[in-house]
A and B are shown apart, each in its own frame.
Chain A
């Protein structure tokens, strides 16, 4: 296998990993801080693609501000959802939360069908990004570099937020011991609203960022949430860096698996998941469940 092709395939894997990371990181973040498994996460991702389609009104040139608007809308939708729907079930048994987010999945799916219809929606990339760039003599879609850059910016931003800001420090503390935080006088409910809204904003941004290269239909929500779960199972549910590692591994395994055994390319990803579950059931960068005393 010539090295230039390896680099090309590595880049396609990286592009896929980027969209997986944006999809899954919010799921992990939300679980880490709120302890909620958000089954509707893929639905917010799908909603993001629809929102971008809607705000751009058929003009792909507005992509940049469109992504900003979608992320802002996603934040607002996330905050509203948390305040109105999730807050009342925090102190209920876990299956209430699971039922609630599953209900959200169904509601959002029917909602977009009502608003946008069942037909596939698609919009190309802006003209400046519609062409290949040449990587060691091989064509590679320019837009994928945008997706890769976006994922890197989000990962860097999250690192800064979690490690260097006061709110971020509190979020990390919330994943450790919520009650202690409350005892120290921190407004924990507001903190949780911010985390949930941030997670949803990232999901909608990730979904929106795929619109120039993919097609959106109500069905992608379920596909997306399954992919997101595979990523966080591999990386470790609740760990932001686990989502990054999981997305990277799955993207690259997919890219190179196709070359090694095209007949069974799909199986490699599941194989990885099985191995991780057997060896480290809490995921590569997840924390083993604490022993309750």
Chain B
């Protein structure tokens, strides 16, 4: 009988420290295969770097961070993977997500199991407007990009506007948000043409000629990735960028598009990058870019920067909470008017009502230089966070 006493005693003696250092488990879902794997891979690299740094400084609350990366694929696959991470891997948090449709499918699952989900890339405004208590987004969304573009557009003297965007939710919502906001700020604008090429199209020439025929002064475009590259390559020899006085494209500042375009990038496009590796010129950001470049041989793309910052912000929330309990972490994100976190990109503020982060948005005009083999943003123009704070339907 007496001997039983020894077992708990031994457990405390030897198991104690091990228990205290039980890792914080995070399941990271990114698009690691398929057509957009280049986005998922750079997001993953951002997370890897953040976790390395967190663990090097002793983890979070003295516990190491352990990340399980999975390829999220399409929404149904992502839901299966998310459930597997929750039920089998017993993760404390879900993290990441590149695709908007995947984010909309995974969010309710995370919420149901009370496993907080922190989204770092998917940009549909609908995600945070679902008002789910355990879902957070630390990157800016497409509506904020559209509002920022509208803020610039309203200051331009141009009245004749046209759109070209991919024919799916992101393209449609981006244009809707943009033109609605622009008409609020500048009621005398008119829409002369809307073009909706299929997402993933390779040939844009007939859309380009149709656009130019409508003689717009300014064009808004939500084409991204390879679509944006093909569009730009075809628009140049049509003289598109010489005829159009003002061209704006949120996500056009993504390195995924600027690197392949190289020196063929049209200059003077007003583009956003969500995160741009040369801004802000702080020691923290420079150190991040250097470390990233040393480790992966490339500059961090916008989504790598967002993934890194998102992980650091989650770490800050857990530190503040003093626990990984979902309700305590949620409270830490929401308390004191919302968590304010100084990231490499600048200040990120979590709006308590909808769990959407607001931050200064970095935009700029494309310019080719001798310093980089691709176009950079010069001059950079920053949209203050307050100009992108749209009303939310979520009550708080």
Contacts and interface: CB of A to CB of B under 8 A. Distances in A.
Interface of A: 5, 8-9, 12-13, 15-16, 19, 113, 117-122, 124-125, 130-132, 138-144, 210, 212-215, 217-220, 223-224, 254-256, 258-259, 262-263, 265-266
B196 A262 contact: yes
A113 B226 CA distance: 15
Interface residues of B, number: 40
A223 B237 contact: no
Contact of A214 (B193, B202, B238, B239): B202
Nearest to B234: A213
Interface centre among B36, B38, B257 (most CB of A within 10 A): B38
Contact of B193 (A12, A132, A262): A262
Contacts of B234: 141, 213-214
A5 B256 CA distance: 35
A172 B300 CA distance: 55
26 contacts: A5-B213, A9-B209, A12-B209, A15-B205, A120-B38, A120-B260, A122-B233, A122-B260, A124-B233, A139-B238, A143-B237, A210-B202, A214-B203, A214-B234, A215-B226, A215-B229, A217-B38, A219-B35, A223-B202, A256-B206, A258-B206, A258-B210, A259-B210, A262-B194, A262-B210, A263-B196
B335 interface: no
Nearest to B233: A213
Interface of B: 34-38, 41, 167, 193-198, 200, 202-203, 205-210, 213, 225-226, 229-230, 233-234, 236-239, 256-257, 259-262, 264
A80 to B, nearest CB: 27
Q: Is the interface of B mostly helix, strand, loop or mixed?
A: helix
A118 B257 CA distance: 13
A122 B35 CA distance: 15
Contacts of A254: 203, 206
Contacts of B225: 120
Interface centre among B205, B208, B238 (most CB of A within 10 A): B205
Contacts of A9: 206, 209-210
B237 A120 contact: no
Nearest to A220: B202
B213 A16 contact: no
A170 to B, nearest CB: 36
Contacts of B202: 210, 214-215, 220, 223-224
A121 B229 CA distance: 9
Given A119-B256, A139-B237, A213 B230 contact: yes
A19 B203 CA distance: 10
B216 to A, nearest CB: 13
Nearest to B201: A223
Contacts of B238: 132, 139-141
Nearest to B229: A215
A239 B41 CA distance: 43
A254 B205 CA distance: 10
Nearest to B298: A119
B251 to A, nearest CB: 14
Contacts of A132: 237-239
B239 A266 contact: no
**Which 7 residue pairs spanning A and B have beta carbons closest together?**
A219-B35, A141-B237, A122-B260, A118-B37, A139-B239, A215-B229, A255-B206
Contacts of A124: 233, 262, 264
B206 A12 contact: yes
Contacts of A113: 37
